[in-house]
């Protein structure tokens, strides 16, 4: 079809991650050697995961763990279970973790894991066996000082508990700090569950100040209703915003007067989907990206905003809770249209920031109050937002490029002073 042809653009996440990196590398005038070092993932592990299914047959799943860069500290990043996981996606996600940790100034590099599977079609027992075997297969390269996994799409605190238990069994001692995002009863941190969304709320408040807007009364559209999307919808509603659109992977909901988020949460918990809620209009999921609103919060997967729909985006502020939801071509269109975009490596960094607090608490076996966590997170997000905004202004560029310049410069500096071994 002619229209499809007209919108042809690069959608491979790792190619996109490299493009984003190279824009910043140009501003920083990085030499080719440094570019090669920073662009290339340090370690990529591919594992086969045989799992006894409930029916008695054995299925073999493919899994990955990628460590992109460890110049500033151990690798850090989530584990994703999804049918569309690929090695290139995990490489991109690991790369984004490196820049995310550097943007926030937390002492980690970047890593990510993924397993190609459809968790919605697997029983809890099958998911447990899959998780334990995957943990066992990646055990040689993870650990509190090496690489620390956490939840990501379709993994949660139960997944982290199984990984922590499996690694502890294998090593013969309790290894609390091997994963973050654990249950509170197992060395988890208060506030971690909603930290991605809460960090975004703090960044969004700063973005509203820059744009001279008020979050209170703003019309907000949230794409995705997983951990990040559901929590941000609730938090902005509590801040007085009107959430006019939400969606999950199956259906979108729209209500000009605002959606009752508490009711949507109850409905989703009860029926496992958003369809069938009363008093709202049902629309296709992706229409949530282009509805009339002031603030758009992409909170699902990569490549949500592409050249095919960016022209119809109406929001004035976008904050990315998902990783990689906007293509580089769309970034240019949004910047030309005066849209203020808070990039993923800043907007969704609250999750890994509280993961860092969890890891620190585990090391000390001394646990903080939720208010202390939230206040420390707020401070960290405000400092990072200010640094990114100042960098963007200094280089006369957009917020994504500002964040990349800041992050890439920090990792390049660490690489330079450490030197290349041997």
Q: Which of residues 30-49 bind ligand GLU (CB under 6 A)?
A: none
Q: Of the two residues 148 and 291, which places its CB atom closer to ligand GLU in the complex? A: 148
Residue nearest to ligand GLU (CB): 78
Q: How many residues bind ligand GLU (CB under 6 A)?
A: 12
Q: Note whether 352 binds ligand GLU by CB under 6 A.
A: yes
Q: Note whether 150 binds ligand GLU by CB under 6 A.
A: yes
Considering only 69, 180, 193, 401, the residue that binds ligand GLU (CB under 6 A) is: 180
Q: Of the two residues 113 and 329, which places its CB atom closer to ligand GLU in the complex? A: 113
Q: What span, in angstroms and rounded, lies between the C-alpha atoms of 251 and 182?
A: 30
Q: Of the two residues 77 and 298, which places its CB atom closer to ligand GLU in the complex? A: 77
> Distance between the two ends of the chain, CA-based, in angstroms?
54
**138: helix, coil or strand?**
helix
Q: Note whether 351 binds ligand GLU by CB under 6 A.
A: yes
Interface segment toward ligand GLU; rule CB under 6 A; list 30-38, 129-137, 326-334, 348-356: 348-356
Q: What span, in angstroms and rounded, lies between the C-alpha atoms of 277 and 270?
A: 11
Helices (H), 172-226: 195-211
Q: Note whether 221 binds ligand GLU by CB under 6 A.
A: no
Q: Of the two residues 73 and 252, which places its CB atom closer to ligand GLU in the complex? A: 73
Q: What span, in angstroms and rounded, lies between the C-alpha atoms of 190 and 354?
A: 9
Q: What per-residue string of b and e applies to 161-171 under the rule 16 or more CB within 10 Å gives b?
A: bbbbbbbeeee
Q: Of the two residues 226 and 252, which places its CB atom closer to ligand GLU in the complex? A: 226
Q: What span, in angstroms and rounded, lies between the C-alpha atoms of 388 and 407?
A: 9
Q: Whole-number minimum distance, CB 32 to ligand GLU, in Å?
A: 29
Q: What span, in angstroms and rounded, lies between the C-alpha atoms of 350 and 203?
A: 9
Q: Whole-number minimum distance, CB 349 to ligand GLU, in Å?
A: 7
Q: Which of residues 61-90 bind ligand GLU (CB under 6 A)?
A: 76-78
- Give the x/- contact pattern for ligand GLU in 291-330, rule: CB under 6 A: --------------------------------x-------
Q: Note whether 348 binds ligand GLU by CB under 6 A.
A: yes
Q: What span, in angstroms and rounded, lies between the C-alpha atoms of 70 and 294?
A: 38
Q: What span, in angstroms and rounded, lies between the C-alpha atoms of 140 and 135?
A: 9
Q: 299 CB contacts (<8 Å, ≥6 apart)?
A: 222, 223, 224, 225, 226, 228, 229, 232, 321, 322
Q: Note whether 152 binds ligand GLU by CB under 6 A.
A: yes
| Short-list 179, 148, 178, 15, CA closest to 86 | 15
Q: Of the two residues 78 and 329, which places its CB atom closer to ligand GLU in the complex? A: 78
- Residue 227 C-beta-side C-alpha neighbours within 13 Å: 20
User: Of residues 18, 76, 112, 182, which has the active-site annotation?
Assistant: 112
Residue 112 appears among annotated catalytic residues: yes
Residue ranges in contact with ligand GLU by CB under 6 A: 76-78, 150, 152, 180-181, 323, 348, 351-352, 355
Catalytic residues: 112
């Amino acid at each position: 079809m002619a229209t499809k042809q007209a919108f042809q653009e690069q959608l491979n996440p790792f190619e996109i991650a490299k493009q984003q990196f190279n824009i910043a590398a140009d501003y920083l005038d990085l030499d080719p050697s440094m570019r090669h070092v920073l662009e290339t993932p340090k370690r990529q592990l591919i594992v086969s995961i045989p799992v006894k299914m409930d029916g008695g047959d054995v299925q073999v799943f493919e899994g990955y763990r990628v460590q992109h860069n460890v110049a500033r500290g151990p690798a850090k990043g989530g584990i994703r279970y999804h049918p569309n996981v690929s090695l290139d996606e995990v490489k991109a996600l690991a790369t984004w973790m490196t820049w995310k940790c550097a943007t926030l100034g937390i002492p980690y590099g970047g890593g990510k894991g993924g397993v190609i599977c459809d968790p919605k079609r697997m029983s809890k027992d099958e998911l447990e066996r899959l998780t334990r075997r995957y943990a066992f297969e990646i055990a040689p390269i993870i650990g509190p000082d090496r690489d620390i996994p956490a939840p990501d799409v379709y993994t949660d605190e139960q997944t982290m508990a199984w990984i922590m238990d499996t690694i502890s069994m294998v090593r013969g001692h309790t290894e609390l700090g091997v994963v973050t995002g654990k249950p509170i009863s197992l060395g988890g941190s208060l506030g971690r569950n909603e930290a991605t969304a809460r960090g975004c709320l703090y960044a969004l408040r700063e973005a509203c100040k820059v744009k001279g807007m008020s979050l209170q009364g703003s019309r907000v559209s949230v794409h995705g209703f997983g951990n990040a999307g559901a929590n941000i919808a609730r938090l902005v509603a509590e801040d007085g915003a009107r959430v006019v659109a939400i969606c999950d992977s199956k259906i979108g909901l729209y209500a000009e007067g605002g959606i009752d988020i508490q009711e949507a949460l109850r409905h989703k918990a009860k029926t496992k989907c958003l369809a069938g809620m009363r008093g709202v209009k049902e629309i296709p999921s992706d229409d949530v990206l282009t509805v009339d609103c002031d603030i758009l919060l992409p909170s699902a997967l990569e490549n949500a905003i592409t050249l095919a729909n960016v022209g119809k985006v109406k929001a004035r502020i976008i904050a990315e809770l998902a990783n990689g939801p906007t293509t580089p071509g769309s970034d240019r269109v949004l910047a030309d249209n005066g849209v203020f975009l808070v990039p993923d490596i800043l907007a969704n960094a609250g999750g890994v920031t509280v993961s860092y607090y969890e890891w620190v608490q585990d090391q000390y076996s001394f646990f903080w109050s939720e208010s202390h966590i939230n206040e420390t997170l707020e401070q960290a997000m405000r400092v990072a937002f200010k640094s990114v905004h100042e960098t963007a202004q200094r280089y006369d560029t957009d917020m994504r490029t500002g964040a990349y310049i800041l992050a890439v410069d920090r990792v390049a500096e660490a690489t330079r002073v450490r030197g290349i071994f041997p």
